[in-house]
């Protein structure tokens, strides 16, 4: 058995020696990191248009100031990624969507609800959609029912962590 293995090894060595000049080394090349487990294997163009990723960090900012949702999307997927390292208790972020005139009230009532409720008032009907509160290195995904938006209203997305509203606020636009 040992001899047999040795022969195979020798053959393999010979093969690799032969192919060394012509072929690039591939045997030990690391494979590319797999796409996110959550991502579907094939994404149609419609799906791509009906989703976005928003990043936030320890600098208390979203990396986008607007979310443009196509009116053709029945459902719109938003993934919030916390790119920082600070814990949820110190630099928590969520992404809440509400009518512009409701933003201040939702944030104020969220602050009152406290950390144990992730700064969201239970059963707040002014909220169109919200992610959970996350800390550094975490992410959260929500599906927004676009049927909840109505023409003539202005909508915004924002963070309800106390003190973050002034820095973390953007517009949600329904576009053709």
Please enumerate in sequence order all residues whose Cβ is within 8 A of that of 151, keeping only pairs 6 or more positions apart, or say none: 174
Q: What is the residue whose two structure tokens read 């933003």? A: 103
Residue 167 near residue 56 (C-beta atoms within 8 A): no
Segments in the chain forming alpha helices (H): 2-20, 45-49, 88-91, 103-113
State yes or no: residue 67 binds Co ion (CB under 5 A): no
Q: What is the residue whose two structure tokens read 């487990």? A: 37
Backbone Cα Rg of the chain: 24
State yes or no: residue 103 binds Co ion (CB under 5 A): no
State yes or no: residue 88 binds Co ion (CB under 5 A): no
Task: Compose the 141-170 pattern: x for residues touching Co ion by CB under 5 A, - for all others.
Answer: ------------------x-x--x---x--
Which residue has the CB atom at the shortest distance from Co ion? Answer: 159
Nearer to Co ion, 129 or 168 (CB): 168
Look up residue 174 and give its DSSP letter.
E
Least distance between Co ion and beta carbon 118 (Å)? 11
Nearer to Co ion, 110 or 149 (CB): 110
Among 93, 106, 130, 146, binds Co ion (CB under 5 A): 93
Look up residue 55 and give its DSSP letter.
E
Least distance between Co ion and beta carbon 52 (Å)? 18
Q: Which residues of this chain interact with Co ion, rule CB under 5 A? A: 93, 159, 161, 164, 168
């Amino acid at each position: 058995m040992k001899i047999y293995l040795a022969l195979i090894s020798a053959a393999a060595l010979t093969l690799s020696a032969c192919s060394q000049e012509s072929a690039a080394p591939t045997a030990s090349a690391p494979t590319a990191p797999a796409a996110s487990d959550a991502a579907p294997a094939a994404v149609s163009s419609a799906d791509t248009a009906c989703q976005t990723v928003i990043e936030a960090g320890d600098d208390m900012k979203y990396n986008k100031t607007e979310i443009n949702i196509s009116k053709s999307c029945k459902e719109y997927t938003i993934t919030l990624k916390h790119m920082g390292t600070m814990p949820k208790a110190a630099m928590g972020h969520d992404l809440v969507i509400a009518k512009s005139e409701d933003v201040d009230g939702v944030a104020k009532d969220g602050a009152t609800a406290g950390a144990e409720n992730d700064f969201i008032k239970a059963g707040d009907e002014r909220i169109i959609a919200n992610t959970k509160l996350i800390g550094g290195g975490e992410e959260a995904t929500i599906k927004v029912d676009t049927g909840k938006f109505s023409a003539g209203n202005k909508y915004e997305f924002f963070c309800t962590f106390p003190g973050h509203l002034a820095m973390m606020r953007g517009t949600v636009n329904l576009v053709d």
